[in-house]
Amino acid sequence: MRSLFLMPLFAAFGAQPAPEETLPPRPAAEAASETVALGALETRMTVPVSIGGAAPRPFIIDTGAERSVVSRQLAGQLGLSAGPQVRLTTMTGSAQVQTVVVPSLSVGPVRDARAFNAPALEAAHLGGHGLLGIEQLRGHMVAIDFDRREMAVRPSRGTARSRTVARDAEEIVVIARNRLGQLIVTEAQFEGHRVTVVLDTGSQISMGNLALQRRLKRIALKGPIELTSVTGEKLTVNYHIAGQVQIGGVVMRGLPVAFADVPPFDHFGLTKEPALMLGMDALRAFRRVEIDFPARRVRFMMTRSSTPPTGSRIG
């Protein structure tokens, strides 16, 4: 029996950090009284995905998921054949789920003509008709434009061996490592402590492991709040408003971070060292973010009012 791995998680709060070194911390976010379903969040951005040549449907790009996922509703509309059951690991645990056979998939330059089995989950928990995972993204670049509210899958800017990187005055380039197909940023700090960062566009919030919480020692925790995964399972956690998170020379302030030793940290071998899964709440602080898998680079385009510090590239 095959085990698949998905990371999307969302919560009922979301404060946006500011990538400006001179900006004071923002007020702490108020936790809402009830859990918000992913599909109800207006901040979700999608890309048009066509399955088997059918009309494109909105899918969420999820850089934290190993496999792409199709909603049960779309699978029914397209008449997709049933596949085997698999054990699916998410932020909240693992469960047996049914798969469907995807005959082919296309989005922008991505043309996956191979048939594959995709977990079939409820659309209300996905926030779209499906999730586009690492398996279809690993040879391309994901571009997220927050000004235009657009996400796109595009050809890579170069290979990992390319040393010359063209940048403008508002751009920060971070060199990442590849671990199980995911890009891992090791040169980052969380309130002065070194932390390993996983970029997770499928989650609306950022999540820290308990090793990071212990490293922070005495911190003011808020909550509890209830989180919901793509399978509809609930997870109750506490969270902290981080005063300063630094990645590639950019300092983000006022970032809500929930703490729990969720399965993804174990999957990436990150249970013993301080680690952070950076969600869309943090990425939204930038004007544009490009995640280039073949080149192992992440480009952060600053907001127009921001100026990146000198020597900001991490190599």
The two structure tokens encoding residue 244 = 């300063």
Residue 265, helix vs strand vs coil: helix
d(CA 11, CA 293): 27
168 assigned to some structural domain: yes
Q: Where are the alpha helices (DSSP H) in 34-148?
A: 72-78, 123-126, 134-137
pLDDT at residue 38, as a whole number: 30
CB atoms near residue 82 (< 10 Å): 12
Kindly tell me the sign of the dihedral angle through the C-alpha atoms of 128, 130, 133, 139.
negative
pLDDT digits (tens, 9 = 90+) for 121-135: 999 888 789 999 998
* Count of Cβ atoms closer than 10 Å to residue 90 Cβ: 27
State the residue range of the domain holding 229: 11-38+160-301
- State residue 210 phi and psi, 5-degree precision: -70, -25
CATH, residue 214: 2.40.70.10
Q: 305: part of which helix (H) or strand (E)?
A: none
**Residue 309 within any structural domain of the chain:** no
The pLDDT assigned to 304 comes to 52
DSSP secondary-structure letter at 271? S
- Residue 296: inside a domain, yes or no? yes
The SS3 of residue 238 is: strand
128 DSSP assignment: S
Number of domains in the chain: 1
Report pLDDT for 41. Answer: 36
Q: Which pTM was predicted?
A: 0.78
Burial of 114: CB neighbours in 10 Å, binned 0-12, 13-18, 19+: exposed
Q: Is residue 124 part of a domain?
A: no
- How far apart CA 15 and CA 94 sit, in angstroms, is 29
Residue 233 lies in a domain: yes
Number of neighbouring beta carbons within 10 Å of residue 42: 4
Does 205 fall in a domain? Answer: yes
Are the C-beta atoms of residues 63 and 199 closer than 8 Å to each other? yes
CB contact at 8 A, 210 and 261: yes
For residue 187, the Cα-to-chain-centroid distance in whole angstroms is 18
Question: Cβ distance 50 to 107 under 8 Å?
Answer: yes
Predicted local distance difference test score (pLDDT) of residue 27: 32
Model pLDDT, residue 23 = 27
Question: Per-10-residue mean pLDDT for the chain, 315 residues long?
Answer: 40 35 31 29 74 94 90 97 90 87 91 93 88 91 91 80 52 88 89 94 91 90 86 89 87 91 89 94 90 94 53 29
